Amino acid sequence: MSWLDQARRAIAAGEPAVLVTVVAVQGSAPREPGARMLVQGDRVAESIGGGHLEFAATAAARTAQLRSHSETIALGPELGQCCGGKVRLLFEPLAAGDLKWLTALDQLEDAAILVRRVGPAGMPLLLRPDMIGSAGLPAEIRQQARDFAEGPERIALVERETGEAWLLERAPLAPDRLQLFGAGHVGAALVQAMAALPFRVDWIDDRSGLFPATLPANVRTSSATPADAVAAARAGDFFLVMTHSHPLDLEICERVLRRGDFAFLGLIGSETKRARFVSRLRARGLAPDLVQRMTCPIGIPEIAGKQPAVIAIAVAAQLVALSEQVRARTRQPQGRAG
């Protein structure tokens, strides 16, 4: 369960909870701006980087009578970490009034930013760039919001001389979408390996009885036909093909290649299978440069094991690396809201 879901539950139950947010980083640090963790009693949801930094932040969050404030922490020997950078953390004890901005954050779209005064009394504003100039904000914050909307940062803390603190942030990056065809042993291992990764997985197989009763939160199953499933996918999706049938694998690969707007097409199998598929796809009229976009075998080459769980780890690592490459090419910041 995400920190956001945990925060809502804690507020609804009247349980004490403190949200810790990385709002700025200088030099090397274990997590990026926007990373969050929620501290409740003896429980912690998500992470701001682990190690002594997280230990110290968790201890600080459990301090009695804690008020909203920020702290800059140096990641040096005195903290027991050798990153060498600095991290600025925002501590926010949550109360019923915070439900307003938590709900607003959940509704935040890519084209807008969320502007709020830190504290449960602050009214959150969802603003598109063209709305900032007329927003009911202090002039200083309005200018900061303009600058933020035009820049690459995903989160920024503005602390005024009056003692007020304002937080500006964009929507968390949407997870990449993986279209996974095949509910066999490797497919089942892969959905488990992807459970904590920033992907939403559409797991597709017409043999619906193969799907387990319990699934990770980021996985949904479908018994759609390959034609319908490929047609319903979005531009930029990742595809993995690992069904029980080579003819079915070939059909799916052909349909994905003919779309052409995919981020990745991976086919489970050997170099021999790849050669056969390349020959058959070219015989069906697909251009050689398009067919070359099909990856087979799949998985990072440094992992050679053939057990389903080992293949799953190799493929998951490959997908994360490719996702980061795609985001870098499109200049999307890597900061994800914890």
Task: Say if residues 62 and 39 touch (Cβ distance below 8 Å).
Answer: yes
Question: What is the structure's pLDDT at 337?
Answer: 34
The CA-based angle 53-57-58, given to 5 degrees, is: 115
**In this predicted model, what pLDDT tens digit does every residue of 293-337 receive, in sequence order?**
999 999 999 998 999 999 999 999 999 999 998 887 764 443 333
Mean pLDDT for the chain overall: 92
pLDDT for 237 equals: 97
| Euclidean distance between CA atoms 222 and 206, whole angstroms | 7
Assigned token pair, 28: 């090397």
The 10s digit of each residue's pLDDT in 87-128 is: 999 999 999 999 999 999 988 988 899 999 998 777 899 999
Q: What is the pLDDT of residues 3-55, one digit of tens each?
A: 999 999 999 999 999 999 999 999 988 899 999 999 998 899 999 988 889 99
pLDDT tens for each residue of 119-161: 877 789 999 999 999 999 999 999 999 999 999 899 999 999 8
Q: What is the mean pLDDT of residues 163-184?
A: 93
- β-strand partners of 266: 240, 295
Which residue, chain included where needed, has tokens 């929620």? 38
Better-scored residue on pLDDT, 275 or 76:
275
pLDDT of residue 327: 80
Backbone φ and ψ for 192, nearest 5 degrees, come out as -70, -40
pLDDT score recorded for residue 69:
94
Q: What is the pLDDT of residues 231-258, one digit of tens each?
A: 999 999 999 999 999 999 999 999 999 9
Q: What are the boundaries of each domain within the chain?
A: 3-94, 97-170, 176-329
Q: What is the distance in angstroms between the CA of the first residue and the CA of the last residue of the chain?
A: 12
Contact partners, residue 229, CB within 8 Å, separation at least 6: 179, 181, 202, 204, 222
Say if residues 75 and 54 touch (Cβ distance below 8 Å): no
- Residue 317 and residue 308 in contact, taking contact as beta carbons nearer than 8 Å: no
What's residue 79's pLDDT?
56
Tell me: pLDDT of 273 over 80.
yes
* The three-state (H, E, C) secondary structure of the chain, written as one string: CCHHHHHHHHHHHCCCCEEEEEEEEECCCCCCCCCEEEEECCEEEECCCCHHHHHHHHHHHCCCCCCCEEEEEECCHHHCCCCCCEEEEEEEECCHHHHHHHHHHHHCCCCCEEEEECCCCCCCEEECHHHHHHCCCCHHHHHHHHHHHHCCCCEEEEECCCCCEEEEEECCCCCEEEEEECCCHHHHHHHHHCCCCCEEEEEECCCHHHCCCCCCCCEEEECCCHHHHHHHCCCCCEEEECCCCHHHHHHHHHHHHHHCCCCEEEECCCHHHHHHHHHHHHHCCCCHHHHCCEECCCCCCCCCCCCHHHHHHHHHHHHHHHHHHHHHHCCCCCCCCC
For the segment 66-79, the average pLDDT, to the nearest whole number, is: 83
CATH architecture, range 176-329: 3-Layer(aba) Sandwich (3.40)
**Is pLDDT larger for residue 285 or for residue 78?**
285
Is pLDDT above 90 for 278? Answer: yes
pLDDT score recorded for residue 57: 94
User: For residue 267, what are the β-bridge partners?
Assistant: 241
pLDDT above 50 for 338: no
CA 79 from centroid of its chain's CA atoms? 29
Q: Kindly report the pTM of this predicted structure.
A: 0.76
